[in-house]
Amino acid sequence: MSTERAVPSRARRARGFLLGVLALPALVAGCRQDMQDQPRYDADQASAFFADGRGNRPRVPGTVVHGSFSDNRAYHEGKENGQPVAVPPVELSAEVLARGRERYDIYCSPCHDRTGAGNGMIVQRGLRRPSSFHSQRLREAPAGYFFDVITNGFGIMLSYRAQVPVDDRWAIISYIRALQLSQNATIGDVPEGQRAALGQGAALGQGAALGQGAAGH
Ligand code: HEC
């Protein structure tokens, strides 16, 4: 029995090579896979695969947008170790107070009135009157308590979570602190350098210093 194989001639090998080269474009074209031909769902399309029958998949619980995670609980929840924070965890500035005043006047004053006494227009028209922010209890309440009330509501007061973003909540609370001080300040709260000006204004009967600031209310 012979094991010899016929060695292909040069001509035959060349022909084979040529055929291969010619067939290449056809092969490549056959491999092309269009993205639009992939199995996929359009938005809101029904699905026979998922148990709830929807192509849209719900967000995995606990998902946060990349780069937006913050575990600063004092800032986001107004609490530290489960306790309400005493003072707003944001830097205080004239801008923050101005923003807080603007937001307070928009979102809180209709009921709490512009001074925080709790006699806003909606209360004058019959809504239950809220406690004055100048009561000793609310003057001593920690900033985190106010944050909780704005975020989650309190009694018949609805939550303002959706209307007032976290930064604005702290601005409003900082402004409420200023309102509280405005009704309960003593001469000791005025910086020493400015006490003389205060006395002068009072003596001259002009609305100098503090008086002018309150004129807007
Ligand atoms: C539509 C009216 C209304 C608006 C607007 C409103 N509140 Fe109130 N708020 C109330 C009422 C009424 C209560 C008392 C609720 C109760 O006793 O059931 C209350 C209670 C509170 C308390 C709790 C007081 C306590 O006795 O412990 C705080 C703090 C407070 N509001 C802050 C705010 C702030 C800050 C805003 C603005 C972001 C705001 N509220 C907007 C009506 C309102």
Model confidence pLDDT, tens digit, residues 35-85: 778 888 999 999 999 999 999 999 898 888 888 778 899 999 999 999 999
Find out whether the beta carbon of 146 lies less than 6 Å from any atom of ligand 1: yes
Model confidence pLDDT, tens digit, residues 159-168: 999 999 999 9
Does pTM top 0.85 for this prediction?
no
Find out whether the beta carbon of 173 lies less than 6 Å from any atom of ligand 1: no
pLDDT of residue 187: 86
pLDDT of residue 55: 94
Residue 130 has pLDDT above 90, yes or no: yes
Say how far apart CA 192 and CA 200 lie, in whole Å: 14
pLDDT of residue 4: 56
Find out whether the beta carbon of 74 lies less than 6 Å from any atom of ligand 1: no
64-to-6, 60, 74, 200 alpha-carbon distances in Å: 70, 9, 19, 57
Rounded to the nearest angstrom, the distance between the alpha carbon of 112 and the centre of ligand 1 is 7
Superfamily designation of domain 92-186: Cytochrome c-like domain (1.10.760.10)
Q: Where in the chain does DSSP place strands (E)?
A: 79-80, 83-84
Model confidence pLDDT, tens digit, residues 83-101: 999 999 999 999 999 999 9
Nearest CA to ligand 1 atom 37: 108
Rounded to the nearest angstrom, the distance between the alpha carbon of 86 and the centre of ligand 1 is 19
- Read off the pLDDT band of 30 (50, 70, 90): low
CB neighbour list of residue 99: distance below 8 Å, 6 or more residues apart:
168, 171
Say how far apart CA 17 and CA 8 lie, in whole Å: 13
Find out whether the beta carbon of 164 lies less than 6 Å from any atom of ligand 1: yes
pLDDT of residue 210: 46
- Read off the pLDDT band of 18 (50, 70, 90): confident
Find out whether the beta carbon of 155 lies less than 6 Å from any atom of ligand 1: yes
pLDDT of residue 28: 61
Q: Domains of the chain: which residue ranges?
A: 92-186
pLDDT of residue 1: 47
pLDDT of residue 195: 87
pLDDT of residue 25: 64
Quote the Cα angle for 114-146-143, to 5°.
Answer: 105
